[in-house]
Chains A and B, each alone.
Chain A
Amino acid sequence: MGGSGTLFHVHSAFSFLDGTSLPESLVAAAAARDIGTMALTDTHRLSGLVLFLKATAAAGIKPVAGATVRLAGDGGVLVLLVPGPDRYGQLTRILTHAHVEHARGAPAVERAALEEWGPGLVALSGGRRGVLDRLIYAGRHQAALREASWLKGVFGPRFFLEVGAGWLPGDRAIRRTLQELSEHLGIPLVATPEVHYAYPDDFALYDLLVAVRHGLRVEEPHPDRPLNAEGYVKSEVETARALGDLAAPALRGAAMLAEQLEPPDLLGRTRAPRFGDDPDAAQNRLAALAWAGARRRYGRHWRRAEVRIRHELRIITDLGFQDYFLAVEDVARFARTAGIRFAGRGSAADSVVAYCLGITHVDALARDLLFERFLSRERAETPDIDLDFDARRRDEVADYVRQRYGAEHVAAVATYQTFRARLALRQIGKVLGFPARDLDEVARSLPPRPLLQTEAAWEEVPELRELQVSPKARELLRWAARAEGIPRHIGTHLGGLVISSEPLLTVTPFETSAKGIQLAQFDKRDVEDLGLLKLDLLSLRTFTALTDTVASIRQVEPGFDDDRLPTADPAVYRRLQAADTIGTFQLESPAQRALARRLAPDRYEDIVASLALIRPGPIKGNMVDPFVARRRGEEPVRYPHPELEPILRKTFGVVLFQEQVIAIASQLAGFSPGEADQLRRVMTHARSTTEMERLGTSFREKAIARGIAPEVAGEVFQQMVGYASYGFNEAHAAAFAETAYRTVYLLDRYPGPYLTGLLNAEPMGFYPLDVLITEARRREIAILPLDIEQSEGPFFYDHAARGIRIGLLAVKGLEEKVATAIAEARKNPWQNPLQILERARVRLDLGAQLIRVGAFDRLRPDREHLLSEWLFANPLGLERPGGDRPWSLGERLHWEYQILGFGQSEQVMALFRPGLNARGFLTAAAANLKPDAEPIRVAGVPIRPHRPPTRSGRLIVFFSLLDETGLIDASLAEERYRRLGHFLFSAQHRGPLSVAGRMRQGTLMVTAMGPVPVR
């Protein structure tokens, strides 16, 4: 139970650089300090409130909602507290006003807003940064009196004078004046230590964050820099000591105020919109849609799904999620009607009802997928149905949702951008006076792991070891590590929209996102706790690419429909077996291609399995090798128990999918599917051996009771423990496999349109543009250069010329409106092609870029002259500098890589080829044909070096090398990584590399590496 202490002015890390501790830490510190009533008063924000309410409930502390606000013009702050649930909406209105009526990032509250929504709220004078203390400190006592009178006029008996305990110079004099004000105006004093962190040790980090906020060096003073470490969670005794003579009345005031305050009523109820007032309306509607969908999906065999659909509908309606399903179905129907490509992903594909509603495209019945992996009575959490949309049109769907439910009821979900390792390092390093260049080098060389681990292993990371930076860099890493993970500012969740049956202002204030969208102040976990309905409307650029590809194909095959592709096209599997899948969805990475070479997929299920296998879990859990061996017939298929054969047959006895773990627990130990899913989740997250032993005992007892031999039960349980955390969701794999197959088919049959679709949808996928352009060349697709008359904005596929025309938008910095203007301007005749640029009012620098990449070559091949004409006025008609010499390949490539980001004329390694040939270097294409173990040398541009988890736990670096003939995949073992890793990861080494090694099953095992010899 909570103590007697009170805290009314508390900043968590959600005050963004004005607090270091998360709400949970603050509450834990408060509980240890015998605090009984605690408010969270972040600046202009309620983002920490849900976490705060949950933590205080567990700690037995009475929570109070509140916020610190800055008065417009004045700059002084006030603390506002919500005295009870019926007043909460007033605070959200004030905070919304502060954000929406002022520039983004500079919220403030107008006095008129306080006068309108303030009465009924509790206001505290704000402490040393407050409106009153600032006036008093400046000696403006009359102004302070007027201000206090005004505030009392607005808030009446709910206005209090905040007496801080910060041990700051001037505190005693200010307290004397506050006491006079209190007696003169009858305003109670309240002891209010101002809190910005949980413990005294956090002070230094807080000071650094304040310095970051103001862009200061640590040596620079500033009024906001904290003078001392007194901003921690204090006990009543510590507060009393600081208040001296005022301790008694101020603490009495605090106790009195605490009695008046009630917690907000936010958690534990649903606010999701309902379909109709009649409680059965939604249920009936959902059922009707499901049955109609079943007839559509299964035709005359729809009755095969009947039992399953009834089962799912019963669980959905028993748990009260029918409104959620209807909301998602409504969005899916809109997208379908509007011709927007979409698909449901994730565990939603375990649902036949979702399939019949047209939300997902995976037949869960045919795949025998377990519904309980998605939703069960035992779990009873709101299901999460993620929808991927064509990225270009996703916002249309969001607009539809706003229109459908009303703007007051819909907002984007927030996300909290936290300090990531590199940002923490750079910003804190800047405060501590490290040179920018040093910070840049260290930041770029950081491996992808928590900073504390990196600091501890500094000597083992070659790219850090190589750096010539100050010895204090490691100390910096320790400071940055403390900041890592602290919320830094609010952002917009990529796809989340929240919908409420009541106006959202009853729950959350709004802010405006960078894109001008209405943003709730809570993130995806919080909105669920608040009982709001969340839709995940995600953007998938692959869908954009597919839509464009199909549109291009229909120019020559009007009836083409990618929903009717054959699912067993041999050419698709031949391509997969050849690992020739760069550009495809989920199957293009070096790891996927290496797997494909081994697995030799020849059926759809192989694709599904591949998507589940190349994940950190299965790799570390050693599932890949046994699966491949058994699938290839190199190892006999074994089942842990004959009863498990129907469950594991499709994966050759290897437990690959989470659904299989659930099914095993059900089959052997008699768990209901819902209980089994709970078991799986607990196994995945279980921390203690005691808990695992308890689960193991329960499982074994139940299995033995069903006649399973004890040793078999034990062995199966151990395997389940391993697989539970490594297994992948089969429905998700199946949903992705559907799209993956399409992309392989289209790459195989229509490479020109497909690669063009990819180029226009970039950035996406695993590889940069240069790789895709090279792949196109490799497939004998012409790369038609940028042409001022013939290029459109985007890339387009010229069917007649069998080539991809580079688009105007490929030029860095050239926006769509400029491309449109050029297309318009060139319609009229011209005498000098530069007139196109003039008519389109193209900027001087952009015009020069277009000339430099040869956009005018067909009309005026003399680039030098043309550049000179464009850049320099020549009123006297003098002979211009520049000659007729055509630019060399090197010159052209220099500008193409700079301006377009890829080689339009050729891939850059073509420049080095004569020299490389002379030295015995092979091309990537030739090297890929070499037999295993033969020593070879290749050279190329390193692509995507990365350090994924491995089965053995040892560090291996994978990367690819790109040359003008394509890609070759390579790997670097741990010992060699320590000597050579800096060539791949350090900021100091850029450009092509020469690599020596031996091929092994399609991958070059590197033995030596270095820069490309220039001569």
Chain B
Amino acid sequence: MTREGQSSPSSDRRQARMACRLAWKDDEPVRFFWRGRWHQVLRVQEAWLDAGRWWAGEKALWFYRVATANGVYELAAEGAGVAAAQVYRVYD
């Protein structure tokens, strides 16, 4: 399982679009602010740690697959309690 590399201008813009802010409780995200509004996490379906391309200097990221009222999202953050995060994937 490897993550996509992100180094081009287009990917930088994509990164900006996916940026979000997390609120935590007991080391799990309880809501996230993305595209102008808060999304309440109803349930954390899965949580895992991905070391990434450590040989290229990438940092490890925590991933959370969360169910909200309007869909399932994968959020990526550097650690529990860190507000700055990314919406990594949106499930239809």
Contacts and interface: CB of A to CB of B under 8 A. Distances in A.
Contacts of B46: 169-173
Nearest to A226: B51
Interface residues of B, number: 16
A224 to B, nearest CB: 12
Given A173-B46, A228-B60, A229-B49, 14 more contacts: A169-B1, A169-B63, A170-B46, A171-B46, A171-B47, A172-B45, A173-B45, A203-B54, A219-B2, A219-B53, A221-B1, A221-B2, A227-B49, A228-B51
A227 B51 contact: yes
B54 A227 contact: no
B61 to A, nearest CB: 9
A218 interface: yes
A228 B48 contact: yes
Contacts of A170: 46
Given A204-B54, A204-B55, A218-B55, A227 B45 contact: no
Nearest to B74: A169
4 closest Cβ pairs, A-B complex: A228-B49, A167-B49, A169-B48, A228-B51
Interface string B27-54: 1000000000000000001111111011
A229 B60 contact: yes
Contacts of B1: 169, 221, 225, 227
Contacts of B45: 172-173
Contact of B48 (A203, A218, A221, A227): A227
20 contacts: A168-B48, A169-B1, A169-B46, A169-B48, A169-B63, A173-B45, A173-B46, A203-B51, A203-B54, A219-B53, A221-B1, A221-B2, A227-B1, A227-B48, A227-B50, A228-B48, A228-B49, A229-B51, A241-B27, A432-B55
A218 B50 CA distance: 15
Given A221-B2, A229-B60, A167 B47 contact: yes
A230 interface: yes
Nearest to A173: B46
Contacts of A204: 54-55
Contacts of B54: 203-204, 207
Contacts of B51: 203, 207, 226-229
A228 B55 contact: no
Interface string B54-75: 1100001001010000000000
A218 B54 CA distance: 10
Interface size grouping (class) on chain A: 20 to 34
A173 B67 CA distance: 14
B67 to A, nearest CB: 12
A226 B49 CA distance: 11
Interface in A220-265: 221, 225-230, 241
A227 B53 CA distance: 10
Contacts of A229: 49, 51, 60
Given A221-B1, A227-B1, A167 B55 contact: no
B66 to A, nearest CB: 12
A230 B1 CA distance: 15
A5 to B, nearest CB: 21
Nearest to B28: A244
Contacts of A230: 49
A203 B60 CA distance: 12
A695 B45 CA distance: 66
Contacts of A227: 1, 48-51
Nearest to B65: A169
A216 to B, nearest CB: 12
Contacts, number: 47
Contacts of A241: 27
A170 B47 CA distance: 8
B55 to A, nearest CB: 5
Interface string B1-33: 110000000000000000000000001000000
A173 B47 CA distance: 11
A172 B60 contact: no
Interface in A191-227: 203-204, 207, 218-219, 221, 225-227
Interface in A158-174: 167-173
A68 to B, nearest CB: 22
Contacts of B50: 227-228
A237 B11 CA distance: 39
B59 to A, nearest CB: 12
A219 B65 CA distance: 25
Q: Among the interface residues A169, A172, A230, which one has the most CB atoms of the partner chain B within 10 A? A: A169
Contacts of B65: 169
B48 A167 contact: yes
Contacts of A218: 55
A171 B48 contact: yes
B64 to A, nearest CB: 10
A528 B63 CA distance: 50
Contacts of B53: 219
A218 B55 CA distance: 8
Nearest to A479: B55
Nearest to A225: B1
Contacts of A169: 1, 46, 48, 63, 65
Contacts of B63: 169
Contacts of B48: 167-169, 171, 227-228
Nearest to A242: B47
Interface in A69-96: none
A942 B45 CA distance: 69
Nearest to B54: A204
Contacts of B47: 167, 171-172
Contacts of B27: 241
A207 B55 CA distance: 10
A169 B45 CA distance: 10
Contacts of A225: 1
Interface string A720-731: 000000000000
Interface string A777-798: 0000000000000000000000
Contacts of B60: 228-229
A168 B1 CA distance: 11
A854 to B, nearest CB: 55
A173 B65 CA distance: 12
Contacts of B49: 167, 227-230
A204 B2 CA distance: 15
B65 to A, nearest CB: 8
B54 to A, nearest CB: 6
Q: Among the interface residues A204, A227, A230, which one has the most CB atoms of the partner chain B within 10 A? A: A227
A228 B54 CA distance: 10
B81 to A, nearest CB: 14
Nearest to A167: B49
Contacts of B55: 204, 218, 432
A507 to B, nearest CB: 40
Nearest to B60: A228
A204 B54 CA distance: 8
A219 B54 CA distance: 10
A582 B63 CA distance: 69
Contacts of A219: 2, 53
A664 B22 CA distance: 77
B40 to A, nearest CB: 19
B52 to A, nearest CB: 9
Contacts of B2: 219, 221
B41 to A, nearest CB: 14
Nearest to B44: A172
A120 to B, nearest CB: 37
B9 to A, nearest CB: 23
Contacts of A171: 46-48
B42 to A, nearest CB: 15
Contacts of A432: 55
A218 B51 CA distance: 13
A427 to B, nearest CB: 15
Nearest to A221: B2
A171 B63 CA distance: 13
Interface in A704-746: none
A593 B54 CA distance: 54
Nearest to A431: B55
